[in-house]
Amino acid sequence: MKQCSKSENVLIIDSDYEEADGFIKGVREVTGEEWQVALHENNKIYGWRRYVRFFTVALQTVLSGKKYEGKTVLCWQQFYGIAIAFFQRMFHMKKRYKLVIMTFIYKEKRGLAGKLFYRFVRYAVTSRYVDKIILTTQSEKPMYQEIFGVEDDLFAFARWTAIMIYDGALAADGVMHTGRWIWCLVIGALIILWIVIGITNLGKINTVAMAALFILTLILCKVIFTGSGVGTPSDDSMTFGAAVELAVAMPLSWLPLISDYTREAKEPVKATAVSAVTYGIVSCWMYVIGMGAAIITGEYDIAQIMLKAGLGILGLLIIVFSTVTTTFLDAYSAGISSETVVSRWNGKHVAIVVTVIGTAAAIVYPMDNITDFLYLIGSVFAPMIAIQIADFFLLKQDKSSRAAYVPNMIIWVIGFVAYRILMNVDMPVGNTLPDMVITIILCLIAGKLIPEKNQKK
């Protein structure tokens, strides 16, 4: 165990230093403050001894409260924070420091033990000693508010082109340790190069890049699934429905982008179909690789996974080129979209400007938590795509000649609001599918009530 000595902010972590290294660096970088680390390798202890350790560490922290006067105590393992608040409230102690509980999750337990556990957690989290509880998803907040009767502001939650550049740079720096800002510039420059070459002239360059990525991914797959060693399984951090929703939000956002990319194809319909099917298959493959890598290495940081898999430079190439080839499409789509709004704008020039802004944002702003952004994507694109499905496939209507169709705009807004309301309901299928069903039904009703002259023949 590594103890802290000076009066600084403290991280209480239920892990070994190697496993927690990325998180520790991230907290120091994001906050710009010094953090002492109290490591308690309790994640390899099981049964009643683990819970005894939680309470003893918490009691030690409470009794050493003067060391953290005016500072922040951040508990990566939630039970440390809960136990600290429990002891402080029970002994009516002076509040000396800010207490933050990470990755909070509460599961109802049955019987007398369940009732005692609920009273214990509620006694702690409703006390004045807990300043902030960090949740994984926004949908958990109303549930915990109702369960524990706490205020809205107790909870918090741990820009696509900028986010993609940031994530790629962060992962690349985890392999080479040359500075995140350097990799932001490298990735941003490569994306601009891709844009300048142009979508129709990329041809062989894109083919070589994607073939190399495919081969490197096969190597990564082999290394991960034929390697030895099993990491420590992580605690559940979200419900199944929330996980489904976040998984849906990513591919959903690519549907409009595919049309921007395939509009130059000789046979756009076939190109779009192939793109959608290929993206679906490869996405499933990537999810399997990611899950396997997390289980086998015990890591969630892609850079640490690459290092533990022994890939080194190969891993760096995978990170950089996968970021460039996908983020190029984001910037390119932004440029094409701008042309539809202002016809005199040059889509390529706008895409370059978007990349420059995204690169600057990735250097300046921390973007480690994009959960809310993914929910925003879902709430915008789910009803929009549902309207397109209803119009084209069910109502057989073609409104492409119109600048805007007011009934569909209204339905889109209703679908957006419905999605945000559904975020407060935990469903096994997520929020997207129910929202799309509601939107399609509204479109069908509007299609029957409002005469449409421009029918497809």
The residue among 338, 369, 370 whose CA lies nearest residue 354 is 338
DSSP classification of residue 153? G
Please report the pLDDT score of residue 54 as a whole number. 84
Angle between helices 432-449 and 371-389 (to 10 degrees): 30
108 φψ region: left (φ > 0), alpha (ψ -120 to 50), beta (else): beta
Nearest-angstrom CA–CA distance, 287 and 282 = 9
List pLDDT tens digits, range 99-145: 988 878 787 777 888 888 899 999 999 999 998 887 755 567 778 88
Mean model confidence pLDDT for the chain: 77
Question: First-to-last CA distance in the chain?
Answer: 74
Select the more confidently predicted residue: 367 or 256. Answer: 256
Look at residue 44 in the predicted model and tell me its pLDDT: 62
Tell me, yes or no, if the pTM score tops 0.85: no
Predicted local distance difference test score (pLDDT) of residue 413: 94
For the residues of 191-258, what is the DSSP string, one character each? Answer: HHHHHHH-TTT-HHHHHHHHHHHHHHHHHHHHHHHH----PPPPPP-S-HHHHHHHHHHHHHHHHHHH
pLDDT interval class at 387 (50, 70, 90): very high
For residue 75, pLDDT over 70 is answered with yes
Calpha distance 382→431 (Å, rounded): 9
Q: In sequence order, which residues have a C-beta less than 8 Å from that of residue 110 and are 6 or more positions away?
A: none
How many percent of the chain have pLDDT more than 90? 13
**Under a CB-based contact definition with an 8 Å cutoff, are residues 130 and 85 in contact?**
yes
For residues 362-367, average pLDDT: 65
- The CA–CA distances, whole Å, from 394 to 312, 405, 408, 444 equal 51, 17, 14, 8
Q: Which pLDDT tens digit goes with each residue over 202-241?
A: 666 667 777 777 877 787 787 777 765 545 544 545 678 8
Q: Which of the pair, 226 or 367, is modelled with greater confidence?
A: 226
Q: Is the pLDDT of residue 438 over 90?
A: yes
Contact assessment for residue 71 and residue 7, using Cβ atoms and an 8 Å cutoff: yes
The length of the chain is 457
Residues forming a β-bridge with 35: 9
pLDDT tens track for 10-26: 888 876 666 566 667 66
- Name, in order, each residue with C-beta under 8 angstroms of 318's C-beta and a sequence gap of 6 or more: 213, 216, 217, 220, 306, 311
